Structure 1
């Protein structure tokens, strides 16, 4: 019998449901994870002594007391670069293994333990800095592995918790926490450093993460049917919605079929373009604000954080809109995925080109910059969630694979932008924007041709394709 002919129990109101509460819990977990990841990017300005050696005897009493509260270190720009990149190595190498293990082991234990470990290491960073730079780098690599575990393992949650008609809403709310975390870290870190000292940045974000991990262990259950606080109607609604999609997690992976799947390659290329653009946003926005708009450092920090706030709002609105269009049968699911992927890849390219060619005022430039950086969040309801449509039973593993490909886009764009920014400032602006347009448009064409939204044959319950 087809799912369309089944009559599920009465739908539980979304905002009063436990599954929506779970989405918000994940939202705040992701907010903390991202805050812990990027807060060092700003605190290192206060941690590094760029003028005098640490602890000179002719330092005034006030400066000496300040250094006790806010110790500074003689880290060269090369060492700082290693510290910045170290966390990404941990994240990079956990995506596929964690995606695979999420099919087998408890998501509750994996996410909760990894969040607690990341938070514990965040608390340890000021002490690690006192011991030596090697300890800081080691701490960041392990912290990256823990954060990569949280980001990769959480995708498997929606295999059992997300009804098909609510996937856009639930995943966009949870994933938008990464955007809010970026905004929070960029906005709060400077104020904390100035008023309380830079070590308090790590103590505050670390303590919040530890508290949140304990809350996670209390509130989350791997399977909705085991949750003691969920009412029967919601359990029945979720179970009936997923009748044809939740299978055995022990079945071997059909690697050969996955490699031949053009819809899966479309998701990979789309994720590559999304991460490419998003990473350039992180790297290039402060440079653009400084070189083109000539703002102060304080204004630069505030304006660099602003796009993340709008990206967070657009991500949530996109999820709500996608599910509304699907639940009202206004558009099919494949059209919705293609529509939001198009908006998420094409609009940033368009607004970046506007920055390049339109002679805008200060406020006009800020508006285009915010729109260029924020509209990429439409992808959260497009290509980013599409794996759950075509292969829900392998969602955790395949999200790890596509995330890995996306991170390769971030790594490559970082390298190219570093080279481009070392050239003439005027030409670097045009080249950076043209790269965004080229990567996004080419990836979008491939996505529009090959995106699908029905379960692939190799991902169905009756298939037993082996490695």
Structure 2
């Protein structure tokens, strides 16, 4: 963390707390993916070369099976897919309102209250499931999605106020990397908890951590450098000098007409859809693959499901430093750096998850293939994930709402696809799922490479927006006068 005038730089404190925000958001979202393997009655297999027989490992220290049916729910694969996707029904709804509110009033409470509400709903999960089973859980997950829908738009709006261009890849990747470590944390801790305790404890732990984060966030983080009571004058001056050209605290209202006509925006939406399709397929359903196909015990499942995301985090941080260095030294343009990172993160993971599906029951090879694939996905973060800040610092919250909201639709689709295409959880069925992921990666990456840009767009400029609106108003008035004369 950098020091400014003898103090910790507040932009790095914000970056760390933003990282923890996404870590908490993903922990509360993802913990159900592994916990549901202990909540639902598992699929019964007739073991062939399509499913690996490792049931002998699913025993506890006393020799009895861990997957006792006591207290489990009779949820088939389609029902589980519906439960896992329901979060995103609410998630996509609050993206645009969250972005607009963050740009108008600041992201501090737009983000904070969203995470806090999700934490409360997480704490209530065991009670709701006991009362309403799958229906109650689906409703609760929708409410959690409504709370978390503001996360990325609010954080992007705050990043635009706190992040100078030369640190954008690093700080942005650090913050957004909370998604990987949140997935690691959720899978690892959930697996350990489920090995020792009943499944409700998982939700109590992650909900309590979310509440604690909110208390710290409210005390030490602020919407922008000018509101911060503890920031040094030196840091305020540095941020103002580096960002005042394209970043404004009170820009005009969103230029929807120009924004929605922007080819780089639609290229970014395409890349987000590709990224989320692959990421959500694995985040939501990898624990089920490890349990149902490879037969890992719940404790081992948490470990092997967490490993790919841990390596992905290291890759995202390392590649983000490299990306900023390449841009600063003029090795490659900002636009080409974004395209390169996105291409590596699209084609690489797609190829390696296909390889994993053809690795049969060789656990070591399967985990290695998934891990390499997810490591390469880490370059998405200095690629397309920070690209919204390049295009429009002033409207980054709204842009993130559009982009992330469009990508989040895949969170509704992918669990449903797994439920429909892999009802028996066999290798052949999963292979079809992974081929679809590769196809989506290739198509969306082609769109991004063709139309993406790393430059600030003309409609980010407040003066242009004001002139454009005045000109349109004048034309409208002239038409009205002409109509009256005629």
Same fold at TM > 0.5 = yes
TM-superposed CA distance for 1:414, in Å, is 3.3
Change (3 A) 1:87 1:313: same
For residues 323-381 of structure 1, the C-alpha deviation after alignment (integer angstroms, 9 at most, x for no partner) is: 22223333221121112111111211232344456789543332122111232121111
Q: Which runs of 5+ in 1 are unaligned?
A: 1-9, 52-69
Change (3 A) 1:251 1:409: same
1:416 lines up with 2:408 in the alignment: no
What residue in structure 1 maps to residue 330 of structure 2? 329
What residue in structure 2 maps to residue 128 of structure 1? 128
What residue in structure 1 maps to residue 55 of structure 2? none
Larger deviation: 331-340 or 163-172? 331-340
**CA distance in 2 between partners of 1:47 and 1:417 (Å):** 18
Change (3 A) 1:417 1:359: closer
TM-superposed CA distance for 1:309, in Å, is 1.0
Instruction: Confirm or deny: 8 A CA contact 1:11 1:234 kept in the other structure.
Output: no
TM-superposed CA distance for 1:82, in Å, is 4.3
**CA distance in 2 between partners of 1:396 and 1:380 (Å):** 17
What residue in structure 2 maps to residue 102 of structure 1? 102
**CA distance in 2 between partners of 1:403 and 1:362 (Å):** 34
What residue in structure 1 maps to residue 407 of structure 2? 406
1:36 lines up with 2:28 in the alignment: yes
Aligned runs of 1:113-192 on 2, under 5 Å?
Answer: 113-133=113-133, 134-192=135-193
1:246 lines up with 2:238 in the alignment: no
Aligned runs of 1:175-214 on 2, under 5 Å?
Answer: 175-214=176-215
**CA distance in 2 between partners of 1:354 and 1:320 (Å):** 29
**CA distance in 2 between partners of 1:135 and 1:380 (Å):** 35
TM-superposed CA distance for 1:198, in Å, is 2.6
Instruction: Confirm or deny: 8 A CA contact 2:91 2:149 kept in the other structure.
Output: yes
**CA distance in 1 between partners of 2:31 and 2:358 (Å):** 34
What residue in structure 1 maps to residue 64 of structure 2? none
Q: Secondary structure at the match of 1:230?
A: coil
Instruction: Confirm or deny: 8 A CA contact 1:160 1:246 kept in the other structure.
Output: yes
TM-score (norm 2): 0.82
Counting matched residue pairs gives 440
**CA distance in 2 between partners of 1:281 and 1:31 (Å):** 17
**CA distance in 1 between partners of 2:309 and 2:3 (Å):** 33
TM-superposed CA distance for 1:402, in Å, is 0.6
Larger deviation: 214-223 or 410-419? 410-419
Instruction: Confirm or deny: 8 A CA contact 2:356 2:367 kept in the other structure.
Output: no
**CA distance in 2 between partners of 1:129 and 1:237 (Å):** 51
Instruction: Confirm or deny: 8 A CA contact 1:281 1:373 kept in the other structure.
Output: no
**CA distance in 2 between partners of 1:406 and 1:187 (Å):** 26
Larger deviation: 197-206 or 304-313? 197-206
Change (3 A) 1:141 1:167: same
TM-superposed CA distance for 1:37, in Å, is 1.3
Q: Secondary structure at the match of 1:392?
A: coil
What residue in structure 2 maps to residue 93 of structure 1? 93
TM-score (norm 1): 0.85
TM-superposed CA distance for 1:79, in Å, is 5.5
Instruction: Confirm or deny: 8 A CA contact 2:34 2:288 kept in the other structure.
Output: no
Change (3 A) 1:145 1:429: closer
**CA distance in 1 between partners of 2:140 and 2:182 (Å):** 20
Change (3 A) 1:95 1:164: same
Instruction: Confirm or deny: 8 A CA contact 2:152 2:400 kept in the other structure.
Output: no
**CA distance in 1 between partners of 2:323 and 2:3 (Å):** 18
Change (3 A) 1:137 1:293: closer
1:18 lines up with 2:10 in the alignment: yes
Q: Secondary structure at the match of 1:463?
A: helix
For residues 80-114 of structure 1, the C-alpha deviation after alignment (integer angstroms, 9 at most, x for no partner) is: 55443332211121112211221112311212222
Superposed CA RMSD: 3.0
**CA distance in 2 between partners of 1:13 and 1:348 (Å):** 43
What residue in structure 2 maps to residue 67 of structure 1? none
Instruction: Confirm or deny: 8 A CA contact 1:273 1:443 kept in the other structure.
Output: yes
TM-superposed CA distance for 1:210, in Å, is 1.1
**CA distance in 2 between partners of 1:211 and 1:254 (Å):** 38
For residues 51-87 of structure 1, the C-alpha deviation after alignment (integer angstroms, 9 at most, x for no partner) is: 9xxxxxxxxxxxxxxxxxx993655446655443332
TM-superposed CA distance for 1:241, in Å, is 0.8
Instruction: Confirm or deny: 8 A CA contact 1:107 1:157 kept in the other structure.
Output: yes
